[in-house]
Amino acid sequence: MELTNQIQLELYFADHFDTVMFSVLADIYLNQDDLKRARRVCEIGLRHHEHDVAGLFVLAQVEKAEGNLKNTEKILEKVLLYAEDHLAASEMLCEIQTVLGRAQTKLLRSWQHVLRLDPDNRTAADFITKVKGNKLKHALKPGAAGTKPAKHVSKPKKEKPKTSVSRVAEKSSSPLNVSARLATFTLVAVLKNQGLFEQALDVLDVLEQKGDNKKKVDQERKSIQTLLKNTQED
More confident residue, 201 or 63: 63
pLDDT given at position 229: 84
Superfamily of chain region 1-135: Tetratricopeptide repeat domain (1.25.40.10)
Q: Which of 83-92, 184-193, 216-225 has the lowest mean pLDDT?
A: 184-193
What is the tens place of the pLDDT at every residue in 135-192?
655 555 555 555 555 454 455 554 544 433 333 333 333 333 466 666 778 778 767 7
Cβ(180)–Cβ(170) below 8 Å: yes
- Span(s) in the chain for CATH 1.25.40.10: 1-135
Q: Which of 39-53, 96-110, 180-194 has the lowest mean pLDDT?
A: 180-194
More confident residue, 32 or 152: 32
Q: What is the mean pLDDT of the chain?
A: 81
State pTM to two decimals. Answer: 0.68
